[in-house]
Structure 1
Amino acid sequence: MLLVRKGARPAFAAGALLLLATACATPQTGSSEMSRWRSQAERVEIVRDDWGIAHITGKADADAVFGMIYAQAEDDFNRIETNYLVSLGRLAEAEGEAAIWQDLRARLYMDPGDLQARWAAAPSWLKQLTQAWADGLNFFLATHPDVRPRAITRFEPWMALSFTEGSIGGDIERIDLAALQAFYGGKGRALAAVQSAGGEDLEPRGSNGFAIAPSNTKGGHALLLINPHTSFFFRAEQQVTSGEGLNAYGAATWGQFFIYQGFNPKAGWMHTSSGVDVVDEFLEAVEQGPAGLRYRHGNGVKPVATLPVTLRYRAADGTMATRTFETYRTHHGPIVREQGGKWVAFAMMHKPVEALEQSYLRTKATDFASFRAVAERKANSSNNTIFADSKGEIAYLHPQFIPVRDPRFDYTKPVDGSDPRADWRGVHRLEDAPHLLNPANGWIQNTNNWPYSSAGPNSPRAADYPAYMDTFGENARGRHAVSLLGARRDFTLDRLRDSAFDSWQPGFVTLVPTLVAAFDSLPASPRKTRLTEPMGLLRDWDHRWSAESVPTTIAVFWADRLMQDLPEDLRARRNQLPENLAAQTTAAQKLVALEDALARLTREFGRWRTPWGEINRFQRRTGDIVQPFSDAAPSIAVPFPSALWGSLASFGAKPYPGTSKWYGTSGNSFVAIVEFGPRVRARAVSAGGQSGDPKSPHFNDQAQLYADGTFRPVYFHPDELAGHVARRYRPGS
């Protein structure tokens, strides 16, 4: 059985007194404000189950938001604050001047004055929710004086508009920090090729989402797989319910007041990072005019807008200092670098109010029609959506913010900003983008691959859409998913789980035979004799991972070494990496890479015959956002490897300074399987545990389940939660 239960624990008394003395108030908090927070706390109940997961109930939606963010802060305030330090452009206030370029990048879009104006004009219901969000965080700080924020000592409701989608990174991260520093750092604006700091990271970030129609399930109900691949501990698992129709369960990115990937009693949604091109760069011909800087556009010129940005940063002596930058923008967007003597303007979606509306309202959708109506706000630029509901409908939506562009231009490169034909011409209608509703094959998948295999033979056709609708192409996970989903029509929750953890790696099916061919072409020699035994293991391998698998170890170490021989532009195409390694490296390179991999294994582990589970490890020692690792500390074997090679279950691991073992920091994070019958039921597992506090029993209590691919029951309904209540309380108690 792949279902586990924990024993019930006694509930605490519901009427615990609130510890809300005025002495708890911060210097910025008045007694009237504390009184208002106390009143709202009385309208909220938080129930912690025996996995530490918070089930929040509020009288109104705003009350539920208040309790939801309060519970998140209890679990990991550090991650909440850090997310907003990043999104607001205030990270240097905590981490010093080195972070100032990341802050400048954020402030090119997230100007406090602009966000405040947008908040003031927002719908009243959204202002109420953001006010409750800020109140919940401020109430937490007021009642937890031992929690010391690094920089944000008070949250304001408009701040929620800086972080609205919940996805990994965001479009803004495509602005190269080194290039931005070269342009605005006073070191000259001529720029050849500048790479971002931090080195190369090929590990896939994205997710898997499957929707199965009732026709392909044993029980006649739609099923949904929610399988985000993110950095670990990136989201909290919560249930949030109100008397106004809110009842959503799933993963909420730390600091946000909506369930980003999850389900409600009638519908579920899974987001995967999309390959649609929605971010463009425009080459601007800037010149000095009598009245200031201007740039060419068509037959005329336009003024370059300027905006001073002042950033605070923590100096080496701990005091606060400031730096002010004069930033520039055209009608295409802010200037982010220079190329070939021209300035480069960056264009992306910037609809913070609409994005926050869409992210929240879709959690209350009860069927595809209502979900799609919310999507008409067209404020999701980065995520595909896989959907299922209790009516038996399954659907796929491409991102809804997709600029209409002239197909004569190649928008994968900077385009001529002086040519008006290159300008964006509005946003595509939802029906203009790849989409699916109830395909005849009875399933939908996306694995950060193109949408043109999302439903097998019933998929959208690439020829029907502009090239910019996808830049990813197919990947090994996509081929894996299509082979699994098309092979059966009797899916259950258990069989859906088995599919999500199927151990086949089709990338190695492509790659390993090329090494076998290179080996077979060698003449008889001592070299061939030395390689015969490991090559025999690879030749007979079924390309499946397991903790005991030695061929998995050899193949992963070999491919890791072989990547060094691949040109950088091909290495960056992660979806096609197995094919490019097979075709774009020579037989000699493949054999040398194998020898180097075997020598490395012998050097670091004492033998090349090392089972994969002895190398690939999960370890969580501290609550730090950047985790430390040690071979001397306890860790857990994880059988599934990187998704690069086609494994659907993903574990992005590598060695760190002072370690030989590889430790994971990304991949499977929150994973859930959901059945939409007359009564929704679900199972889930999260990496590590719910709490960011190493002293909490829920810091690492799911680690072994995670490594085993074992799911625990989700206590969605009150009768399921009964008997599993560890604590029942109100915020502040």
Structure 2
Amino acid sequence: MPAIVRSARRLAFPLLAFGFAASALADPAAHIGNVTITRDDWGIAHIDGKTDADAVFGMIYAQAEDDFNRIETNYLVNLGRLAEAEGEKAIWQDLRQRLFVDPERLKADYARSPQWLKALMQAWADGLNHYLATHPDVRPRVIRRFEPWMALSFTEGSIGGDVERVPLSQLEAFYGRKQIAMTADEKGLLYREPQGSNGIAIAPGHTKDGHALLLINPHTSFFFRAEQQVKSGEGLNAYGAATWGQFFIYQGFNDRIGWMHTSSGIDNVDEFAETIVRRPDGGLAYRYGKALRPVAERTIRLAYRVADGTMAERSFTTYATHHGPIVREADGKWIATALMNRPVPALEQSYLRTKARDYAGFLKVAERKANSSNNTLFASADGDIAYLHPQFVPVRDDRFDYRRPVDGSDPATDWKGLHSLASLPQAVNPKNGWAFNTNNWPWTAAGKDSPRAADYPRYMDQVGENPRGPHAERVLNAQARFTPETLIAAAYDPYLTAFARLIPGLVAAYDRAPDPALAGPIGLLRGWDHRWGLESEATSLAVFWGEAMWEPAAGPAKDAGLSVWDYMATRASDTERLAALRAAVARLTQDFGGWRVPWGEINRYQRNDGAIEQVFDDARPSIAVPFTASQWGSLAAFGAKRYPGTKRYYGTRGNSFVATVEFGPRIRAWAVSAGGESGDPASPHFADQARLYAEGKLRPVYFYPDELAGHIGRRYRPGE
């Protein structure tokens, strides 16, 4: 293996070290007079602009008012500059990002972008810079001036990104010349609350009033998106959730269509095992067929903040093949990662779909094939509904198992163009009258009218089913004439499908080997209806039991090629089941004084300040939340756990923005966000939705001016 060049030095002018020269701020007056921001009585910004660029200017300005810290942090992450704020501990995360996101390439991409898109990116930068100019008390951690090309670093609004599949431990091992074991989390052995979502589309023939319905229910980290309405005189009128720092509504609706994205189980990030050869001249090559190709080398320089507040720099020589950057080594091979890297089409697709007027227009935008990780649930005023798979899907030889590194020296493993949209799994206007996705496979998306797995390559799905899938089918099959209210009720249905499957096995294990010490807990679970609730003691006991079962089962489940749920249901021994129940009883007793504890005493919502990483405290006020983690099949998800110094569980992800939309002659919509719109604890809109959120109650959306009238908190122009 070649030596990997590294260096570290102090920087006198860290902001100029990367060539991020400050461009002149465009005259904000060109936008300010054409933009009005109206805050409703929930603090939600309704932005009106004369042009799309004016609307973008106002949209991002309003976001900055609500939580500039999250905007800047998102761009520090996506530009690979987080270490400039958080120190050398973030250097490997920055290196991973910069392997795929090169600022110089983004500048070139910006220069080649269509003029309409350049105008939007310029307006985006101008809006953020105008906010900073008019708020001198706001002190950015790093980025003091935004450049329009920076918008291309963050073009897809889902939480996380494809690049995050690269394990940081192995990246550090390779480029840091260390021996580092892959973590249990990287191996998939620890439970992670799905960062995914639920989406449901109901056809007019399946609703009481003959209007299509759409459930928008992203499961992300809390406070990850702003709720906004953005309008212009050029046809833009979108409402929904916008990821902080982006100028498009990621999950939402306009007056004709709605779109909901759910993280997909598709395999669109592949690893290629490269055979490296040192040439006679000392250079590096890799085998490809019968030929040797040169390994590309690039120097990446990363700045980082040191303890005294000054900046230092580390330099890395990085490597790549035509498959992608080298990210680790395994079994004597260098591993290259291939993923979608099309920032301009991705930003075009993310923005233009918000202006589509019907299903045909939505598909025309999707032909850019720049969505690699998200399924879509679609509904429209025309009555169309659909489940759509991600549009960026490389064609591959299905003989190979792309869930593992494939032989990069074999040309047969290469990507061979992209699938056509027609060749992807989809369910368009299914006869059953509904379509859904819960981050599960697409093979049940429309019941009996779903696409069939046998008709598609294996790489179309790699995660299979999860407990929310059968739960969604259960509530969708329960009625034939939905209303917005009954769709909301379905989204908060308390049935826990995982426990309905797992608890009978536990009870049977006890019946085969009774233990008087467990008679009470078994009796409670035996009589339980498998539904969560604030007063439910069985929910508390079941969750603690399931967690005690999960971690020991994760490794064997992976080795057996099973989901953890399937392994727990079919492979766990009676001894393991009963031991986990004893552990659950002991933990409840230790933390709460007994094993009969109402779920609402444990499961809590708390937000103490505007920090991205919250510190929780059992002694401070919190709100009881009845729904559980989606891990157990709850459609309404509240991913909570204990934190250092706490006994109670505090949620940080799951239901974050929930909306139901009815596409009648006039749009009708209801929504709720976790906590509130503002990240400022002093704002009345920091926590004004928290109680509604915990109770599963949605408030009316003020989509039309006549609905907004009477609910106006403030109307102003940016900078006033």
TM-score by length of 1: 0.93
Match of 1:268, SS state, is strand
Q: Is the CA contact (8 Å cut-off) linking 2:22 and 2:145 kept in structure 1?
A: no
1:18-69 Cα offsets, whole Å, 9 max, x none, are: xxxxxxxxxx989x847x1123111100000000000000000000000000
State the one-letter code of the partner of 2:592.
F
Maintained 8 Å contact 2:498/2:632: yes
| One of 349, 372, 377 as aligned partner of 1:358 | 349
For 2:561 and 2:475, locate their aligned partners in 1 and report how far apart those are by CA, in whole Å: 22
2:719 partner letter:
G
Map Cα deviations across residues 500-535 of structure 1 (whole Å, 9 max, x no partner).
Answer: 000001111110001100111125xxxx22211221
Q: Distance in 2 between matches of 1:684 and 1:563?
A: 34
> CA contact under 8 A between 1:574 and 1:644: conserved in structure 2?
no
Q: Which runs of 5+ in 1 are unaligned?
A: 1-27
Shift of 1:581: 1.2
Residue 554 of structure 1 corresponds to: 541
Q: How does 1:553-592 map to 2 (within 5 A)?
A: 553-568=540-555, 570=557, 576-592=563-579
| Aligned residues: CA RMSD | 1.6
Relative to structure 1, the CA distance from residue 572 to residue 712 in structure 2 (aligned partners, 3 Å threshold; closer, same or farther) is: farther
Shift in CA distance, 486/242, structure 1 to aligned 2, threshold 3 Å:
same
Task: Tell me what 1:456 maps to.
Answer: 447
In structure 2, the partner of 1:480 is: 471
1: CA distance between counterparts of 2:556 and 2:667? 46
Residue 532 of structure 1, aligned match among 519, 538, 542? 519
Matches within 5 A, 1:189-208: 193=182, 200-208=190-198
Aligned pairs (5 A) from 1:294-333: 294-333=285-324
Tell me, yes or no, if the aligned pair for 1:166 and 1:260 is still in contact at 8 Å: yes
Q: Following superposition of structure 1 onto structure 2, how do residues 60-79 of structure 1 map, counting pairs within 5 Å?
A: 60-79=51-70
1:542 matches 2:529: yes
Q: What's 2:632 paired with?
A: 645
Distance in 2, matches of 1:255 and 1:565, equals: 40
Deviation sequence 1:282-330 (CA, Å, 0-9, x none): 0111111134111110011111111100010001211111111011100
- Does the C-alpha gap of structure 1 residues 644 and 226 become closer, same or farther in structure 2, counting only changes over 3 Å? same
Q: Does the Cα contact within 8 Å between 1:204 and 1:574 map onto a contact in 2?
A: no
2:28 counterpart SS class:
helix
- Who is 1:492 aligned against? 483
Q: Say whether 1:610 aligns with 2:602.
A: no
- Measured against aligned partners, the alpha-carbon deviations of 1:213-259 in whole angstroms (never above 9, x if no partner) come to 00000000000000000000000000000000000000000000000
SS at match of 1:101: helix
CA distance in 1, matches of 2:415, 2:127: 40
Measured in 2, the distance between the counterparts of 1:578 and 1:29 equals 53
8 Å contact kept, 1:176–1:196: no
1:679 to 648, 666, 674: 666
1:728 corresponds to which residue? 715
Cα displacement string for residues 187-238 of structure 1 (whole angstroms, at most 9, x for unaligned residues): 37xx775656899342122000000000000000000000000000000000
One-letter identity of the residue aligned with 2:713: A
Could you tell me which runs of 5 or more consecutive residues in structure 2 were left unpaired when the two chains were aligned: 1-20
Which residue number corresponds to residue 7 of structure 1?
A: none
The 1:571/1:625 distance shift into structure 2, 3 A limit, reads farther
Specify the alignment match of 1:24 in structure 2. Answer: none
Q: 2:500 is aligned with what amino acid?
A: V
- Residue 492 of structure 1 deviates from its aligned partner by 0.4
Once the 2 structures are TM-superposed, how far is the Cα of residue 487 of structure 1 from its aligned partner? 2.2
Q: Amino acid of the residue matched to residue 43 of structure 2? A: G
Query: CA separation in 1, counterparts of 2:276 and 2:363?
Result: 42
State the 1:101 CA deviation.
0.4
Contact 1:306 1:327 in 2 (8 A): yes
Residue 584 of structure 1 and its aligned partner are, at CA, apart by 2.4
Q: Secondary structure at the match of 1:672?
A: strand
User: 1:575 & 1:668 partners in 2: Cα distance?
Assistant: 27
Gap change, CA 1:447 and 1:624, over 3 Å in 2: same
Query: How many Å separate the matches in 2 of 1:572 and 1:603?
Result: 34
Deviations 1:123-157 (A, max 9, x none): 11000000000000000000000000000111000
Question: Of 158, 162, 171, which residue of structure 2 is paired with 1:180?
Answer: 171
SS in 2 for 1:106: helix
CA deviation vs aligned residue, 1:678-709 (integer Å, no higher than 9, x gap): 11110000000000000000000000000000
**Equivalent runs, 1:249-268 vs 2, <5 Å:** 249-268=239-258
Distance (Å, rounded) in 2 between the aligned partners of 1:196 and 1:592: 24
Aligned residue for 1:187, secondary structure, equals coil
Instruction: Give the Cα separation in 2 of the matches to 1:348 and 1:230.
Output: 22
- Quick one: structure 1 residues 196 and 651, their matched pair in 2 at CA, closer, same or farther if it must change by over 3 Å? closer
Count of residues in Structure 1 that have an aligned counterpart in Structure 2: 698
The equivalent residue for 1:17 is: none
- Among candidates 683, 703, 706, match of residue 690 of structure 2: 703
Letter in 1 for 2:40: D
Letter of the 1:223 partner, please give it.
L
Structure 2 equivalent of residue 510 of structure 1: 501
| 1:215 aligns to 2:237 (yes or no) | no
- Pair 369,159 (structure 1): closer, same or farther in 2 beyond 3 Å: same
Matched, 1:441 2:432: yes
Name the SS of the counterpart of 1:108 in structure 2. helix
Q: Secondary structure at the match of 2:422?
A: helix
1:268-290 CA distances to partner (integer Å, 9 max, x unpaired)?
00000000100100011111113
1:470 paired to 2:457: no
How far, CA to CA, are the matches of 1:572 and 1:202 in structure 2?
18
1:41-190 superposed matches below 5 A: 41-187=32-178
Paired with 2:127 and 2:660, the residues of 1 have a C-alpha distance of 31
Between the aligned partners of 1:279 and 1:380, the Cα distance in structure 2 is 13
Distance 1:94 1:193 in 2: 26
Contact 1:511 1:579 in 2 (8 A): no
Distance 2:497 2:427 in 1: 26
Paired residue for 1:270? 260
Equivalent in the alignment of 1:14: none
Pairs within 5 Å for 1:356-395: 356-395=347-386
Residues 274 and 286, structure 2, Cα contact 8 Å, conserved in 1: yes
In structure 2, relative to structure 1, the CA distance for the partners of 1:591 and 1:668 (3 Å cut) is same
Work out the CA distance in 1 between the residues paired with 2:447 and 2:121. 42
Amino acid at match of 1:90: R
Question: In the alignment, is residue 288 of structure 1 matched against residue 285 of structure 2?
Answer: no
Contact kept? 2:553, 2:564, Cα under 8 Å: no
Shift of 1:342: 1.1
- The structure-2 alpha-carbon separation of the partners of 1:60 and 1:131, relative to structure 1 and needing over 3 Å to count, comes to same
Say whether residues 1:715 and 2:702 are aligned partners: yes
Contact 1:351 1:379 in 2 (8 A): yes
Question: Are the aligned partners of 1:510 and 1:578 in contact in 2 as well (CA < 8 Å)?
Answer: no
Q: Secondary structure at the match of 2:159?
A: coil
Secondary structure at 1:463 match in 2: helix
CA distance in 2, matches of 1:561, 1:597: 7
Deviation at 1:486, TM superposition (A): 1.7
Q: CA deviation at 1:580?
A: 1.6
